[in-house]
Amino acid sequence: HWIDPATEAFLEATIEACLDTPTLLLVNFRPEYRPPWAGRPYETAIDLAPLAADAQQQLIADLISSDPSLGDLPARLSDRTRGNPFFLEEVVQSLIERGLLVGRRGAYELVDPRAPITIPATLQAVLSARIDRLGDVDKHVLQSAAVIGKRVRESVLHAVAEVDATAASDALLRLAAAGFLDTEALLPEPEYTFRHPLTRDVAYASQRAERRIGD
């Protein structure tokens, strides 16, 4: 998702160095990316299809439940997310944060089965709405992390965000618990990464939009 020309050249050189050796190198990339080694005799492309219907139902049951009290919600989730597991996980998390689902993983219930539930049409919209619902400090810390890059050291974030060290640390822990970030390392100091590249993109874009409005 974030490959640059230098990394691409390094990866291509690595692939060439593996020739005539008993080495299997796996590289995953988005459909729109055209790697320089595509079509070469040693390359085999495997398209990863969306989750099949039964796999989607299994994931939905694992995330929320398969209880009949959920009504048509599982079917709507499956239809809207089209077999994209990350999209599905983010929608479910959004419903939990909005207070529409209560319980625990695999055993959630609708707070009000009669209440209308809207599901955003795109993954970007889900992420944007989740970021908008964050508290001011958490939102500012997440946006500052998006400016820093893929990996974020706590000390660097503290300096960039200009937030009290304790407040920044607590915000990072909450963002990790909410699934926006992953803890990459604890020593010599805490370091975090974005759980998904798209999360960073949306957080970065939301900051730019807010600055444009403020200007």
pLDDT per residue as tens digits for the range 38-89: 889 999 999 888 899 999 999 999 999 888 888 899 999 999 998 899 999 9
- Backbone φ and ψ for 81, nearest 5 degrees, come out as -85, -10
Helix/strand/coil percent split, the chain, to 5 = 50, 10, 40
DSSP per position, 105-143: TTEEEES-TTS-----SSHHHHHHHHHHTS-HHHHHHHH
Band (pLDDT 50/70/90 cuts) for residue 212 is very low
pLDDT per residue as tens digits for the range 164-200: 889 999 999 999 999 999 999 888 889 999 998 889 9
Band (pLDDT 50/70/90 cuts) for residue 210 is low
Which of 186, 173, 202 lies closest to 86 in space, CA to CA? 202
Q: Are 163 and 171 in contact (CB under 8 A)?
A: yes
Calculate mean pLDDT across residues 132-159: 92
Calculate mean pLDDT across residues 2-26: 90
Count other Cβ atoms within 10 Å, centred on residue 202.
23
**Whole-angstrom Cα distance, residue 182 to residue 205?**
20
